Amino acid sequence: MKTIAVVHESTLWGQEFAKSVEAYFKEFPEFQKSIVVGYQQGTADVTSEVQKLIAAKPDAVFHASYDAEAILFARTYKQYGFNPQGILAIGASFGSSAFRDALGADANYFFVREHWSRDLAARNPLVGQVAKMYRERYGKDMDGTPARAFTAMMVLADAVNRAKSTDPEKIREALVATDIKAADLIMPWEGVRFDKTGQNVLTRGIFVQTLDGTPKMVWPSDFAAAKFVWPRPAWR
């Protein structure tokens, strides 16, 4: 893989994604930018965008899209036979239940940079317990968004317990002193510890690929529940 196309939606999130990838091209010159394709969020037709990608012939495509447009792009990719070696998304879609339900078998082989996977339960039973509770309560499978929300509330609860008070300043001080270990989290992080800007310095992401209709954690290798498929097979 050498040439990479970037596809992004028009909101600030999509624009910032495109900018960040530009910076990585400078940091990793062994990869070349093929084309950057922006599109309006809410669009009902991405034919022209896909035609640009076909003309550029990238080895891989990096995507920043939400469900509606991700589904539209996938269908249009298949319609025109656009099939690069790999299509990788920065969360939000391509691995969501809505995406899989809409596309069936065509949802396979997309990579998604995710925050969480049920496969983490193989290493940490706590993950399976929380995922089961979520399924029983809401009638659907947990994904990265509720997993992060759950973790945020548990971090806050931990701080309140250590503060032994509801005083905002004491809770803030407890949050600053937070040091939660990986075994006590449902996330793939190395823990929770905040820097001076309030960012957790122990986070890390994972990559998930949908295989046989099921999102499987494929990277990092020490977390992998399945071997990733690369390059993508031809559309059927």
Question: Hey, what CATH topology would domain 3-115+205-219 get?
Answer: Rossmann fold (3.40.50)
Q: For 47-85, write each residue's pLDDT tens digit.
A: 999 999 999 999 999 999 999 999 999 999 999 999 999
Percent of the chain predicted with pLDDT > 70: 100
Q: Is the pLDDT of residue 225 over 90?
A: yes
What value does the mean pLDDT take over residues 199-207?
95
- pLDDT, residue 206, reads 95
Percent of the chain predicted with pLDDT > 90: 91
Q: Is the pLDDT of residue 186 over 80?
A: yes
- Listed by start position, the domains of the chain span 3-115+205-219, 119-192
Those residues with Cβ within 8 angstroms of residue 139's Cβ, 6 or more apart along the chain or in another chain: none
Q: Is the pLDDT of residue 7 over 90?
A: yes
What value does the mean pLDDT take over residues 130-144?
93
Q: Give the separation between CA 51 and CA 39, rounded to whole angstroms.
A: 13
Where would I find the beta strands (DSSP E) of 40-133?
Answer: 60-64, 86-89, 111-114
Global pTM reads: 0.86
Q: Give the separation between CA 116 and CA 103, rounded to whole angstroms.
A: 22
Q: Give the separation between CA 8 and CA 17, rounded to whole angstroms.
A: 7
Q: Give the separation between CA 108 and CA 229, rounded to whole angstroms.
A: 10
Average pLDDT over the chain, rounded to whole?
95
- pLDDT, residue 78, reads 98
